[in-house]
Structure 1
Amino acid sequence: MSSTEQPGPRTAVPFEVPPADRSRTAAEERLRSVSLPGLTLAVRTRPAAREGLPPALYVHGLGGSSQNWSALMRELAGTVDGEAVDLPGFGHSPPPDDGDYSVSGHARAVIRHLDASARGPVHLFGNSLGGTVATRVAAVRPDLVRTLTLVSPALPELRPQRSVISNALLAMPGGAALVSRMTRKWTAERRTREVLTLCYGDPASVSREEFEAAVAEYERRLALPYFWDAFARSARGLVNAYTVGGQHGLWRQAERVLAPTLLVYGGRDRLIAFRMARRASAAFRDSRLLALPDAGHVAMMEYPAAVAGAFRDLLGATDTGRG
């Protein structure tokens, strides 16, 4: 399958996408604060279907939050004991004390949380930037990862999507201030519609209730004094990670991952080209691919049942779901 034709460059906006089926998940989820030296993380949990299920951790993408995993967490509640983390500066997590928003900085935050909670090894999930972070965690700390599931991971492309090029403006010095000025008259409703168009294969599939919840969340995030800084520095950290070569290069680290890996790519993804599925399948030594022709950048939100089914197949094939 070939990737779909992409639209022209768009004005850069953060990728906060609406929580899926929030009306059914909000009452079932709990958000707690985890304090670590120099770092405070908000962690979203939902009750597991039964005791003794293997642990899982979900890591969101650039500009997103733990809410992006709510639909998949619900689908997998009978399979894993899952929790989703808000990366530093996103969701309900405050900025890190050291201001480190690099890929390695976010990976260290995940590792520190796993070490402190003693939940590892976990079934580790990541989307977009979270997929990059999860790849690095799996490469440098294989003892913490049972399986790896990557939804549209943000790994380096020689020919990036045009939408990504326009959003790279935020990673440049002064870029966040420029984008803020360019979009200062935008309402939260418009910002949300722009994000839906960018991230969803079918933006019309989002219900009015979900849209309104996303607008409210956007308004909350825009009021935070560190909103643009956290996004811009994380975007810059991702761009910088793309330029690193040698053993610390992201594709080299993908080759070092030992955990069985599920790769999920969408045919309508405007941020990560579907053609990257082939390269990723070759890089991760023990991998399988779920291709969703109609999905965009957040397949775990658009097609949670399909992603959950593929994950269960991974467990069945690798026999890692017993502990």
Structure 2
Amino acid sequence: MTVALPPADERTVDGRRVRCRISGDGPPVVLLHGIGRTLDDFTALHAALARDHLVLVVDLPGHGGSAPLDGPHTLPALAGAVARFLDVAGVTGPAHLVGNSLGGAVAMRLAVDAPQRAASLALLNSAGFGREVTVALRLLAIRPLAPLLLRPHPGIARRSERAIFFDPAYVTEERIATALAVAGQPHAARVMLELVRDLGTWRGVKLRWRAELLDAVAALDLPTLLVWGDRDLILPATHLAYARSRLPHARRHLFRDTGHMPQIERTAEVEALLRELWA
């Protein structure tokens, strides 16, 4: 098995290497992945949307092929890095922000910190709507266990991929190889731990940042879509009900027999939901 990231483009932002893919023409769309993941989680959706949109997908700082930040990796730091990447890419006006998992929280933070950059929000199984999170992430807050759980090992990579999808057919050798390449980056464990400890504890996701962020997002009154898979083992689908209470005007959709990444398991349906929102 070749342990390498799939080919992509690069930009230089603040002197840092940023792995990205940019294609298409039309209204801009920004796709943001989850913790410990890469832009490759959006490959199929990117291709579908790029038929009539300018689509930008990027590895967050310290993830995949993007270099880490100089300072701590926190939610505001990631949002700021995305904003600077968009400047380098020439996108300074409103864009449709689409985020999965941690990427959803980054999208919300970016919209709050720079409202002029957000035309809409689409949150796919997004972080920020509940304390519950997979035990694998909670265990990373326990220092003696973190090095064991974060080491690049085929068995760990396979189990992690299996937890993400309802349909095991999506747990391909290519995805396992990408996971190993990500885990093998020299800064990967440090970045993961900084984010996990900033956003949560062994008990789960911290309330303070969630409450502040959701209050601020609700005040924006942006067109918003909330999507979840009913078989999500990372962030349970019960979070969708809470999201509905905090963002009552948002559109909502729950996919049956779908895991943590509906943009992969339900690409065409997610594309249709996005296009309805943007219309």
TM-score category (smaller protein): 0.7 to 0.9
Which structure: larger Rg? 1
| Structure 2 contact 157–180 (Cα < 8 Å) conserved | no
| Structure 2 contact 37–179 (Cα < 8 Å) conserved | no
User: Would you say 1:107 and 2:79 are equivalent positions?
Assistant: yes
Shift of 1:299: 0.4
- Over the matched positions of the two proteins, sequence identity in percent amounts to 28
Aligned to 1:59: 32
Give the aligned residue type for 1:301. I
User: Would you say 1:273 and 2:247 are equivalent positions?
Assistant: no
Counterpart selection for 1:169 from 136, 139, 142: 139
- Shift >4 Å, 4+ stretches: none
2-structure distance, mates of 1:148, 1:262: 6
Aligned to 2:18: 41
Aligned to 2:97: 124
| Equivalent position SS for 2:56 | strand
- Relative distance call for 1:153 and 1:166 in structure 2 (3 A) is same
Give the aligned residue type for 1:250. L
1-structure distance, mates of 2:68, 2:212: 26
Give the aligned residue type for 2:140. L
2-structure distance, mates of 1:138, 1:199: 27
| Equivalent position SS for 1:221 | helix
Residue deviations 1:18-72, cap 9 Å, x none? xxxx9xxx7xxx72222222643211223x2xx4x10111110011100101111
Aligned to 1:192: 157
- Relative distance call for 1:131 and 1:245 in structure 2 (3 A) is closer
Shift of 1:138: 1.2
Aligned to 2:9: 32
Q: Give 5+ residue unaligned stretches, structure 2.
A: none
Residue deviations 1:207-260, cap 9 Å, x none? xxx7121232233233321121121212222227834269x7232233233320
2-structure distance, mates of 1:245, 1:101: 15
| Structure 2 contact 149–156 (Cα < 8 Å) conserved | no
Aligned to 1:5: none
| Equivalent position SS for 1:191 | helix
Aligned to 1:179: 149
Give the aligned residue type for 2:156. R
Give the aligned residue type for 2:11. V
| Structure 1 contact 176–229 (Cα < 8 Å) conserved | no
| Equivalent position SS for 1:92 | coil
Give the aligned residue type for 1:67. D
2-structure distance, mates of 1:285, 1:117: 34
User: Would you say 1:151 and 2:128 are equivalent positions?
Assistant: no
Aligned to 1:321: none
Shift of 1:156: 4.3
Residue deviations 1:139-179, cap 9 Å, x none? 22111011111100111424x14xx2342121344542243
Aligned to 1:219: 180
2-structure distance, mates of 1:281, 1:75: 28
User: Would you say 1:302 and 2:261 are equivalent positions?
Assistant: no
Counterpart selection for 1:287 from 232, 243, 250: 250
Counterpart selection for 1:201 from 137, 147, 166: 166
* Superposed CA RMSD: 2.4
Give the aligned residue type for 1:279. Y
1-structure distance, mates of 2:240, 2:15: 37
User: Would you say 1:73 and 2:38 are equivalent positions?
Assistant: no
Q: Give 5+ residue unaligned stretches, structure 1.
A: 1-21, 317-323
Tell me the matched-pair count: 271
1-structure distance, mates of 2:112, 2:99: 14
1-structure distance, mates of 2:9, 2:141: 30
User: Would you say 1:141 and 2:104 are equivalent positions?
Assistant: no
User: Would you say 1:233 and 2:194 are equivalent positions?
Assistant: yes
1-structure distance, mates of 2:52, 2:144: 45
Residue deviations 1:259-287, cap 9 Å, x none? 20111111001111212112212323541
| Structure 1 contact 142–258 (Cα < 8 Å) conserved | no
| Structure 1 contact 40–88 (Cα < 8 Å) conserved | no
